[in-house]
Amino acid sequence: IVDIEDEIDYELLNHEQIMGKITEVAARASEDYRGRTPLLVCVLKGAATTMVAFSQAMTIPVETDYMSLSSYGSGTVSSGTVTVRQDLSADVRGRDVLIVEDIIDSGVTLKWLVGELERRGAASVEIFALLEKPARHQVQLDVKYKGFVIPDEFVVGFGLDYDERYRNLDSIAVLKPEVYEGEQA
């Protein structure tokens, strides 16, 4: 029997740290959007966990929608192209959209999504990203709501996966190197 804990090298952020930060950012966003009803757009699958915590911590009315985007496939390096696995159900025209994302790595996924939402006629588009890895940024993005800046390590948990696993970990952690052994470069 393999427990997730056995595959973790070290924990980067514990559950309380993550929830504290999300609550703090949601309080600020609730102030900023007061009087409006923002449409929270969750970038599946990674942001699913963050979306639940963030939307529950918002103190103003919000609407929620989901879009499934993929740039990583099964490896630890971005493919550089964004695939839409499942589109939104809402019409974003005229809406104040707040994207909820788990991590900005190269920035390619969000750069594409911001452009796409603007093309569809959103009134405004802002970003909440729980994690940001500045060492990997390839494109310029304006991120209004930021969680944690993290070092250039491949992290899992709180929604983030390695080859679809570890999303259910309630903290954010770095895996032991042997977990990646045999990965195709």
Nearest distance in Å: CB 133, Mg ion: 13
**Region from 21-29, 87-95, 156-164, 177-185 binding Mg ion, contact rule CB under 5 A:** 156-164
Beta bridge partners of 15: none
| 46 forms part of the interface with ligand PRP (CB under 6 A) | yes
Judge whether 141 and 104 are in contact, CB under 8 Å: yes
Segment near Mg ion (CB under 5 A); pick from 68-76, 105-113, 141-149, 166-174:
68-76
Nearer to Mg ion, 33 or 162 (CB): 162
**Catalytic choice (6, 102, 105, 170):** 105
Amino acid in the structure at residue 60: I
Distance CA(87)–CA(68), nearest Å, equals 7
Q: Work out whether 72 is an interface residue with ligand PRP (CB under 6 A).
A: yes
- Residue type, position 51, single letter: M
Residue 36 or 111 with smaller CB distance to ligand PRP: 111
Q: Is 164 exposed, middle or buried (0-12, 13-18, 19+ CB in 10 A)?
A: exposed
Separation of alpha carbons 56 and 38, rounded Å = 14
Nearer to ligand PRP, 51 or 108 (CB): 108
Of the candidate spans 23-31, 54-62, 87-95, 102-110, the one that interacts with ligand PRP by CB under 6 A turns out to be: 102-110
> Is residue 105 among the annotated active site residues?
yes
Judged by beta carbon, residue 61 or residue 134, the one nearer ligand PRP is: 134
Interacting partner of 106 out of ligand PRP, Mg ion, Mn ion, none (Cβ under 5 to 8 A depending on kind):
ligand PRP
Sites for ligand PRP among residues 104-163 (CB under 6 A): 104-109, 161
* Residues of this chain that bind ligand PRP (CB under 6 A): 43, 45-46, 70-72, 78, 101-109, 161
Q: What is the binding site for Mg ion (CB under 5 A)?
A: 72, 161
